[in-house]
Structure 1
């Protein structure tokens, strides 16, 4: 009897497995693109070749630039069709059409801010060359969509993507700008802190940037400023207070942004640097870059080489954009990190302020349409409205990203073509948002730095808090391009950026409130490792990108280790920490204890202060041994806090090696939280690094582990003495299809600090697949 039951159970299991296998084979057949042979496609001007290397990275060769960009659009559609459509739907606020009521609040937020409307105005401002290339890219995407293959997500949700448009290629840059700028959120938090504890509470959460902290430019590198500005950081004065209804509405926007994976955190940061030939073994510059962004599945970046008649660039592209965003051409290399000046302001309008109104309709899958009444003021979109009672008012957001005339796409395409510093700098004059720190190097041995973008001029106020829409609080134009932070061939042959303060105090323009720069740990460590060095190689640059020495530990350990006897388990942990070298490596149990301890200190700080303090704020409080973070003002106040947080940290750490709890999580935008689908679409892997290491991997702590979701989303190392010896890597893989061999083949190497050849030489590509594009006959 038992044997019969077991046979029946095994038969059912086998049938289920065979059905699953058949389903996977069907999905794989329906969704994986053609990578070799010949395709006849509409809209192509001349024969074009796409050679994919052993990692699925396309090397595109065409006789016309438009055809090269066309082919880029086609491979984006082949490998990232779902990502293209999902990102476009985010910009448009059209997620509920395919995801139902679960995405309705996200659509409300996206429509209220008006990202798509801003993209529509930007397209008309672009140069004729950019318009031609965008149109070619659009044709390529639509040719890819028309090939008959589709992404698994489309099969699961039961729809096909609409044709791509030129506006769609501009729209995603608006969302990137949102992800890289969070001052509106800081203003909201600052207003609450001010209301609770006065201006001093702001400094307890985020102290001013340290006077001795590293700056990107030195005083002798500051640009001449003939405009004689009267800008100054006047300090924060608490506003009368925001009505609770405004706070609630903005918190809803923030929650919607978080659901979309868009939440700005300066401390998660990015790094780039460039050293001149005076410091290198080759005598030519070396350039490094690793932008730290949300780890997502598929990964944000798509590695590619694009070659036409004049255009020849290789590096990181973003599906939806017709350019190499970070990388090099045959003569010039560039990298970017977030500069993050304050370019967002919340203005409090009276309820009778003049506004333009419009109605938009959100289609909701399985439910009735939802109509929105939206308002636009002279200050920008109205993102919150309280029209009843004595405190009736509206909140408007001013932000260059949502204004007309955004020519940032001209800047990125111009960088692809630039052959020297003058041409690169000229391209950057078109840059609007989000302001980035560009490092530059060329084959002639020059290096440089520039932070372009529209930065508003404020006179007599610092932009850190919501302000009334009155004559005293207005933007007075933009900081002139020639007076933005920039340098060319600095005397020390070194430029380091890590979201730290870009300019010393002598810089006359106000870029942002002094408390908003990222903590200086990463910038200090990179500068320490490069200053005064010679004979540097790409191996040295790779080691520095992978550096996991904890700067916070070095700063805090004296205060932490001075804790009196704290119980057997805590004392054993302290003994291990006394022997620890501060390396946040995956095999270290001391790293687990320290990161949990720091996390608990921040959590306690949030309870005392009303907002999570920066790492620098925690270090300052522990070094002083007093203050509101520790709950009081006497010199002994921090001891109970240290003891209690260490005990909690030891319990959570449980002597686990760091890698068992500290893991990189790449999540899928639609299916990442659906239990049945998450294992197929998400990716998880142990990785080193932590809070404020050069190799940033700041734990989230929200799920009871030290898993992290923000890290180096892309890494590149460029050798200007031999550009084809350069290296790069993404965080996951080229394909967005989890059934593709190229979906996650970069993941293990990325976690281990390994790289792929960033080479235009076929000898470096390994096994290849060649796809020939031919123009389809016209009828």
Structure 2
């Protein structure tokens, strides 16, 4: 019999007599806990958001349809093994059963829109997963490079330094000889848009079939069965970061030779329906007029979902490794450890091999793997790792987070959950001395930590924004705004954003005697500092650096608590210089997986288990998350509440 239990934070703990019953229960509970989110994800995947949002949804809907999200998901579903399709079907059956029990009037978003949640089909978990990752790779970055090269010429290199990725993560592990328990530890946090409800759902899945037993705690994508990226299965645990691999290529096709075309109609609330051409050339998918993209998932007709059940059943590092051989995209760095003491790093996903002309000729045959000794550690934070990085990608995150985590682990012994939480919470911004070299002496005496209660951090952030505004006002950047790319891609093409993320590079160039774009950065920095010191600066960084979770309808149901950290801190709570100090992107979960004892670890999300604003568990983890603390992992069924 399938049973639901919850911990003190409302996190669902599910147990059932079979995989199918467990999947069905996971779907049912997800539908009840996250009704609006389930419906919104379905609309995102099918390109039907404009039907409820009006014209504001058109750019995404055009993009999703032209990327053939539904078609790719249906092809991938057809290639899944029989057992995987049965797993998906059971989950969707439960999802639909759960949706039937929910009155739309009880879900504020559905009530406001006057719509209900529609039924799912078995391929929709693949479509929702794909839709969440369409912009996870580098389409926006590739378009930016083309635009910047065209407008800025050779000087574009000043704005192309490796930078905070749109979707990144930290993950690290220590071998048993370095820990207090003698067993490995894994810690980390994925970085994405901070949304309400959250992108990740904490869940425990326990199958009590004597021939197929498993008991896994982890984070699941809402709308997808099992756990995918971060989990502790008792005997083995794993985590991932974005590997920043090039598994999408973009190229201009101003006069595309279309080999496959259809016209789709997008319904628009309070407006006329819009027709969109869904075209494919021999090279790739026409995702907007004049531009095509080639992706691993489209080429293969596969999304790697045959990895889901083997991950749940894994007992060893080798088991997880073998499961990840089936992964497609996103391409990830995986950190895996087991109770036998084995710790391993590997790249997971399908990376195309290209010839000198850039044409795809096959797939990278063997992923990079590295064994971590018992007295060793491994760190991955989206950075350029070495020769293996050259095989998979071209642009990576700046090295600051990875270098800082390595420094914190270097020489440390007796590591435990508290030690890993301290790493989560490290707020040292290593770019501070780089940028403040433009104003020598102005920030002497400050330790460079972006703590929420720091006045120095507030002053530095104000100076940084004032400097970025001055740089962005230079006439050389004006034409960067003159592009015709889809609105959904606009964040990647914003010159102010690019200048802000490239500020350390620009400062280094100036200190070295270069004048990027012909600008006197020292003079601009002095002007920016004078402006800040003559004006009113917030008393603390936390006065303006507050968490603002994104809601599809713009609802404001979560208190704007002050948070420490910044984009290049290990405590990744991202702000955008000269755009906003508020944090709507950063750590969407934090975790410590202890291989000695699951309950010795911990986990947390920015909001909570429920998607209902009036529910006790809508954002009851927010205060913990903002304070840098973890919620307990409870695995003793007697300490959980039935139902």
TM-score (norm 1): 0.75
- Partner in structure 1 of residue 284 of structure 2: 380
Provide closer, same or farther for how the CA distance between residues 665 and 652 of structure 1 changes in structure 2, counting only shifts above 3 A: farther
- Partner in structure 1 of residue 440 of structure 2: 562
Match 2:296 to one of 385, 388, 400: 400
CA offsets per residue over residues 400-434 of structure 1, 9 Å max, x none?
A: 13334314222233222211122211111111101
- For 1:50 and 1:314, the matched residues in 2 are separated by 14
- What RMSD, in angstroms, separates the aligned Cα atoms of the two structures? 2.2
CA offsets per residue over residues 346-372 of structure 1, 9 Å max, x none?
A: 233463624211121212233343222
Q: CA deviation at 1:664?
A: 0.8
Contact 1:625 1:638 in 2 (8 A): no
CA offsets per residue over residues 25-78 of structure 1, 9 Å max, x none?
A: xxxxxxxxxxxxxxxxxxxxxx21101111111111111111111111111001
CA offsets per residue over residues 252-302 of structure 1, 9 Å max, x none?
A: xxxxxxxxxxxxx61763100011012111111110020011011111111
Find out whether 1:439 has 2:324 as its counterpart: no
Q: CA deviation at 1:698?
A: 2.0
- Partner in structure 1 of residue 42 of structure 2: 88
- Partner in structure 2 of residue 538 of structure 1: 417
- Partner in structure 1 of residue 552 of structure 2: 669
- Partner in structure 2 of residue 192 of structure 1: 147
- Partner in structure 2 of residue 55 of structure 1: 9
- For 1:280 and 1:161, the matched residues in 2 are separated by 48
Contact 2:136 2:167 in 1 (8 A): no
- Partner in structure 1 of residue 392 of structure 2: 511
Q: Which secondary structure does the structure 1 equivalent of 2:115 belong to? A: coil
Q: CA deviation at 1:320?
A: 0.2
Q: CA deviation at 1:692?
A: 0.4
Match 1:106 to one of 47, 60, 68: 60
Contact 2:612 2:618 in 1 (8 A): yes
Contact 1:586 1:687 in 2 (8 A): yes
Q: Which secondary structure does the structure 1 equivalent of 2:320 belong to? A: helix
Q: CA deviation at 1:156?
A: 1.5
- For 1:189 and 1:81, the matched residues in 2 are separated by 36
Q: CA deviation at 1:137?
A: 0.5
Match 1:154 to one of 110, 115, 130: 110
Match 1:72 to one of 5, 26, 29: 26
Q: Computing the radius of gyration over CA atoms, which structure comes out larger, 1 or 2?
A: 1
Q: CA deviation at 1:164?
A: 1.4
- Partner in structure 1 of residue 525 of structure 2: 642
Moved over 6 A (4+): none
- Partner in structure 2 of residue 126 of structure 1: 80
Q: Which secondary structure does the structure 2 equivalent of 1:297 belong to? A: coil
Find out whether 1:459 has 2:344 as its counterpart: no
Contact 2:259 2:282 in 1 (8 A): yes
Find out whether 1:475 has 2:360 as its counterpart: yes
The runs of 5 or more residues in structure 1 that have no matched partner are: 1-46, 210-264, 386-393, 461-471, 564-573, 673-677, 772-779
- Partner in structure 2 of residue 305 of structure 1: 204
Q: CA deviation at 1:491?
A: 7.6
Contact 1:347 1:379 in 2 (8 A): no
- Partner in structure 2 of residue 330 of structure 1: 234
- For 2:344 and 2:313, the matched residues in 1 are separated by 17
Q: Which secondary structure does the structure 1 equivalent of 2:611 belong to? A: coil
Contact 1:382 1:397 in 2 (8 A): yes
Provide closer, same or farther for how the CA distance between residues 488 and 474 of structure 1 changes in structure 2, counting only shifts above 3 A: same
- For 2:507 and 2:176, the matched residues in 1 are separated by 37
- Partner in structure 2 of residue 627 of structure 1: 515
- Partner in structure 2 of residue 252 of structure 1: none
Q: Which secondary structure does the structure 2 equivalent of 1:411 belong to? A: helix
- For 1:118 and 1:606, the matched residues in 2 are separated by 40
Shifted more, 100-109 versus 289-298: the winner is: 100-109
Q: Which secondary structure does the structure 2 equivalent of 1:510 belong to? A: helix
- For 1:620 and 1:319, the matched residues in 2 are separated by 43
- Partner in structure 1 of residue 171 of structure 2: 272
Provide closer, same or farther for how the CA distance between residues 556 and 369 of structure 1 changes in structure 2, counting only shifts above 3 A: closer
Contact 1:718 1:727 in 2 (8 A): yes
Q: Which secondary structure does the structure 1 equivalent of 2:363 belong to? A: coil
- Partner in structure 2 of residue 360 of structure 1: 264
- For 2:298 and 2:16, the matched residues in 1 are separated by 35
Contact 1:93 1:108 in 2 (8 A): yes
Where does 1:680-699 land on structure 2 (aligned, <5 Å)?
681-699=557-575
Shifted more, 614-623 versus 85-94: the winner is: 614-623
Q: CA deviation at 1:560?
A: 4.1
Contact 2:506 2:516 in 1 (8 A): no
Contact 2:451 2:565 in 1 (8 A): yes
- Partner in structure 2 of residue 715 of structure 1: 590
TM-score (norm 2): 0.91
- Partner in structure 1 of residue 458 of structure 2: 592
Match 2:157 to one of 186, 194, 203: 203
Q: Which secondary structure does the structure 2 equivalent of 1:307 belong to? A: strand
Provide closer, same or farther for how the CA distance between residues 129 and 602 of structure 1 changes in structure 2, counting only shifts above 3 A: farther
Q: Which secondary structure does the structure 2 equivalent of 1:177 belong to? A: coil
Provide closer, same or farther for how the CA distance between residues 65 and 106 of structure 1 changes in structure 2, counting only shifts above 3 A: same
Contact 2:606 2:621 in 1 (8 A): yes
- For 1:764 and 1:551, the matched residues in 2 are separated by 43
Q: Which secondary structure does the structure 1 equivalent of 2:391 belong to? A: coil
Contact 2:176 2:374 in 1 (8 A): no
CA offsets per residue over residues 294-316 of structure 1, 9 Å max, x none?
A: 01111111111011122321111
- For 1:375 and 1:126, the matched residues in 2 are separated by 26
